[in-house]
Chains A and B, each alone.
Chain A
Amino acid sequence: MTALRIDRISKDFGRPQTLAALHEINLAVDAGEMVVLLGPSGSGKTTLLRCVAGLTEPTGGSIQIGDRTVVDCERGIRIPTHKRGLGMVFQNFALWPHMTVRANVAYPLAGRAEIRDKRVDEMLELVHCSHLGDRLPSTLSGGQQQRIALVRALASAPALLLFDEPLSNLDALLRIELRAQLRQIHRVTGFTGLYVTHDQVEALSLGSRVAVMNHGQIEQIGPPEQIYNAPATDFVAEFMGMGNRLIVTGDGALSDGSGRRIMGLPARHGATGSGQKAIRFRPESLALEANGASAASQSHLVIPDLDVVDRAFIGEYVEYSLQSASSSLKARMGRGAQLIDVGGRVNGLVPHLEAASFDYAPRQSN
């Protein structure tokens, strides 16, 4: 069953431009799913979330929550936020400072007092905060505040829970802890969620599916493994950590004019045209070997003549900075690997399965 259907939602801001614009976005979220909107700032992910919440008015398209249309620009339908039956966790928690924790959690609940009290107890129990009920939000730590904000959103068992970068105001350790707690609560209660973040680790670990957004559009949507292993576009690949990029012509020559070629170009992944291609891979996928040591390989692509310009010991790994005529590459080698001196010249090896290639069009002024 579809819990949320977003149909050709657009948002045009006149002046002043306060949020990123959206261009005809389609997205369907099934009941019980947690869909994460991932993207850099300005990609439109928060705008989309606010359109679902009714805090921002889209300029085109429609949104259905459950089987009810909450906004439809063509038909002039607009259900105000408070009638959409939502829960939402805000980036800065947004607990009302003048209400106790109990009052905050009870706020979205309707019905008789005993029933509400019981539900509040249940909710506080869920996040192990029963002892905090009578405190004011300002006396709580950041992690406690965010747990309360979470159960306030859960309290009325809404059809759809919205998360607006809920963990970004917390420090690193707390973030990991709350992420695990959130996964557990999602497993136990089975809520349907739409989650906005710019943190790829958070997105991968929380999402049933991840939608990567850029310039107001969804570039790719799919299960976390698919997004990570098989990025569909150059942007998604870069955002997912494939920081190394080589530009090659259709026949595999490096497009830096040096005439050198990359051997063993991969056939799979995005590239379809016969023009220039961008080849992307992660620093940890790049292995280095002495120059001239190997010829063409069946399972790897080989990048010839890389100059080692720097070597840094990071702890878990050793990071090499490499220069190939026009492009800079990074390689991460495990601690066990033999060290290569700065100033040396090496070949780079990348397993086919860990490289992706995309049609490349030189970017216009951007």
Chain B
Amino acid sequence: MTITVAPAERLGSGAGPRLWQGLASVMTWLPLILVLGFAVLWPLFAFELQSFVDGFKSYEDAFGSPGFVRSALVTFALAIADVIFAVILGTALAWCALRTPARWRSFGSMIPLMPLLVPGVAAASGWVFLLSPRAGYINTILRSLFGITDITQAPFNIYSFWGMVFVSGLIFTSFIFMFVHNGLRNTGGEYEEAAAVSGASPLRSFFTITLPQLRPALAYGSGIVFMLALGQFSAPVLLGVPARIDVLTTRMFSMLESYPVAYGEVAAIGMPLLLAGVVVAGIQRWVIGDLRRYVTVGGRAQYSPRKPSRWALTWISLFGFIAVALPLVAILYTSLSPFWTQNMSFGNLTTRNFVTVLSGQNLLSAVRTSLVASATTILIVLPAGYWAALIVTGRIQTSWWILRLLDILLLLPFAIPATLYGFALLFAYAHPPFALYGTYTIIIVAYATIMIPYSTRVLVSALIAFGPEPWEASAICGAGPARTFVRVSLPLMRRSASVAGVMVFILLFQEFAVSLLVRSATTQVVGGVLYDQYVAGSYPAVAVVALLLVAMTAVGVIIITAVGGSEAIKGSGGR
């Protein structure tokens, strides 16, 4: 960059020389990219580097240790089973949602999303109370119905591979539902009507017309589910580990117990997950290009209602009952019981558990830590997310490779399993030069790193919805950046910023894997308390904490819906 302007001309021009302008324009994105790049990439890099410290010894140790191959196979099988489970159930629910009678339609499209709003650990605990072989309520009821007296015999066992598939599959079903439901809504019912007029039976029309249209939505949705299912943690640690069924993430987690932690070996176990996450995310990015093209071609069709059916509503209600109501009722009942036993009775329900747990220092200090950490995280990820959103939407102009880099930085924390990320963050910040272990700071840094993608996503969609014109109009009217920010940006973005803030808050209270790794004895978080009580076998206490999580989530959801409308919930699609 050379300056060829004579000094006199420069003075007369009323604008600074090029170099200064170039520097100023670089400063509109460089600091964010540097900080975000460091926060996202450095922990992963430093951590995975550990796996190569002794050549390939870490890999030999990790992959050669007993049970590793089985864990890897279980991880893969679990992910595949989850995808199949979710695709079948999610597609069926989407089909039903579009056929619910008009006055029930919003109910029909909200219910299948509810499992996303129940904290994963709470749902898993609920199913333990229902389907544990000995004391599970459903097993107890079935035993008494069929007159089985031997309590070692149980129709269902939640501590099993299929137990994990069922509990996590219900959550993933909501993801598939979201994609397929949107896909079906966009394509409209005319195509199926045309098929019917041409003489196709409903079944033939479904397989030859509806399903092919859904291919992009299903490809995209099942890719995301596969990625998340490979790295899942809540269901495996609560349901698989008691039955000695390990997946890669629980295997990594169990190595936290040994001292000193063999970071090299943990990093080696994580490597296949890292690669799988990156590959699947890469394919997703490649497919979404196709997907957008597909939408522009087919997006013209307006929503036209399908023929309503009463059965559709019944199936959706049944799903809501099983996936949401049953586990919540089980948690509520257990939290009110003195002990969790197979002898169910409503006579001696008590609130003693609440008093015990809530008056204990343990939970209160964990709630305080979670609150402080979440609030501080929100103060970081809202401005940072807004800055990132300005770049993503082109309001701050950069080159295409900066956009691509930012895209990757915002995708990685989502694509890489939380357990792996948690270890990376722990390794990176617990050791010198940072040595942050046991402080709030490490929790906040970890939370901020994994939450920026979510706040960015909400703010990006708000910026896109408003379009650039309000900002352009302000500049045309002579308002400088500061006045525009105060008079236009703040009031326009206030609502989405609140939604993003509350959403981050909810997701952090539900967050399990990273929290379990970066917490310490002095900085306990709510999810950690639940896990400790679960391992210690204090099930009524587990139920109380799970209820607390559900309640906080519910409050958050109500706030989001009040501020941002019901569509805002769908943007939240958390882990």
Contact = CB atoms under 8 A, between A and B. Distances in A.
A and B assemble together:
yes
Given A16-B400, A54-B475, A55-B472, A75 B492 contact: no
Given A72-B13, A77-B13, A98-B492, A53 B469 contact: no
B491 A98 contact: yes
Contacts of B17: 76
A81 B3 CA distance: 23
Nearest to A68: B14
B466 to A, nearest CB: 8
A156 B477 contact: yes
A97 B462 CA distance: 14
A78 B15 CA distance: 7
A81 B488 contact: no
Nearest to B468: A55
Contacts of A86: 476
A76 B18 contact: yes
Contacts of A82: 474-480, 484
B9 interface: yes
Given A78-B21, A92-B469, A94-B472, A107 B15 contact: no
A76 B1 CA distance: 11
- Which of B473, B476, B480 has the largest count of A CB atoms less than 10 A from its CB? B476
Interface residues of A, number: 37
Contact of B5 (A15, A75, A87, A110): A75
B470 interface: yes
B478 to A, nearest CB: 5
B487 interface: yes
B469 A108 contact: no
Nearest to A72: B13
Contacts of B9: 75
A94 B474 CA distance: 9
Contacts of A96: 470, 473-474, 488, 491-492
B13 A87 contact: no
A60 to B, nearest CB: 14
B338 interface: no
- Which of A83, A85, A98 has the largest count of B CB atoms less than 10 A from its CB? A98
B13 A69 contact: yes
Contact of B478 (A16, A76, A83, A90): A83
A156 B491 CA distance: 23
Contact of B470 (A55, A68, A94): A94
A121 to B, nearest CB: 18
Interface in A95-149: 95-99, 107-108, 110
B565 interface: no
A53 B476 contact: yes
A180 interface: no
Given A96-B488, A98-B492, A88 B473 contact: yes
A81 B13 contact: no
A80 interface: yes
A94 B484 CA distance: 14
A71 to B, nearest CB: 9
Interface string A1-32: 00000000000001110000000000000000
A79 interface: yes
B5 to A, nearest CB: 5
A61 to B, nearest CB: 15
A51 to B, nearest CB: 13
A108 B479 CA distance: 7
A268 to B, nearest CB: 44
A152 interface: yes
Nearest to B476: A88
Contacts of B478: 82-83, 85, 108, 110, 156
Interface string B4-16: 0100010001110
B12 to A, nearest CB: 9
B468 to A, nearest CB: 8
B467 interface: yes
Interface string A145-166: 0000000110010000010000
A222 B480 CA distance: 37
- Which of B5, B9, B475 has the largest count of A CB atoms less than 10 A from its CB? B475
Nearest to B492: A98
- Which of B3, B400, B472, B484 has the largest count of A CB atoms less than 10 A from its CB? B472
A163 to B, nearest CB: 12
Nearest to A69: B13
A150 B45 CA distance: 55
Given A54-B475, A107-B479, A79 B470 contact: no
Nearest to A54: B475
Interface in A157-204: 162
Contacts of A97: 470, 492
Contacts of B5: 75-76
Contacts of A156: 477-478
Contacts of B484: 82
A107 B13 contact: no
Contacts of B491: 96, 98-99
B476 A107 contact: no
Given A68-B14, A78-B21, A107 B477 contact: yes
Contacts of B472: 53, 55, 81, 88, 90, 94
A126 B202 CA distance: 61
A114 to B, nearest CB: 20
A76 B477 contact: no
A215 to B, nearest CB: 24
A87 B21 contact: no
A87 B476 contact: yes
- Which of B478, B484, B491 has the largest count of A CB atoms less than 10 A from its CB? B478
A107 B479 CA distance: 8
A292 to B, nearest CB: 51
B15 A79 contact: yes
Nearest to A93: B469
A92 B465 CA distance: 13
A80 B470 CA distance: 16
Interface in B77-121: none
A80 B18 CA distance: 14
A83 B483 CA distance: 13
A340 to B, nearest CB: 40
A75 B13 contact: yes
Given A14-B400, A75-B5, A81 B470 contact: no
A80 B475 contact: yes
Interface in A291-350: none
Top 10 nearest A-B pairs (CB, nearest first) are A94-B469, A108-B477, A76-B18, A81-B475, A94-B473, A98-B491, A88-B476, A82-B475, A77-B13, A77-B15
Interface of A: 14-16, 53-55, 68-69, 72, 75-83, 85-88, 90, 92, 94-99, 107-108, 110, 152-153, 156, 162
Given A54-B475, A82-B478, A94-B472, 8 more contacts: A75-B9, A79-B15, A82-B474, A82-B484, A94-B469, A107-B474, A107-B479, A108-B477
26 contacts: A15-B400, A68-B14, A72-B13, A75-B13, A76-B3, A76-B5, A76-B15, A76-B17, A76-B21, A77-B13, A80-B480, A82-B474, A82-B477, A82-B479, A83-B480, A85-B478, A87-B476, A94-B469, A96-B491, A97-B470, A98-B491, A107-B479, A107-B487, A108-B477, A156-B477, A156-B478
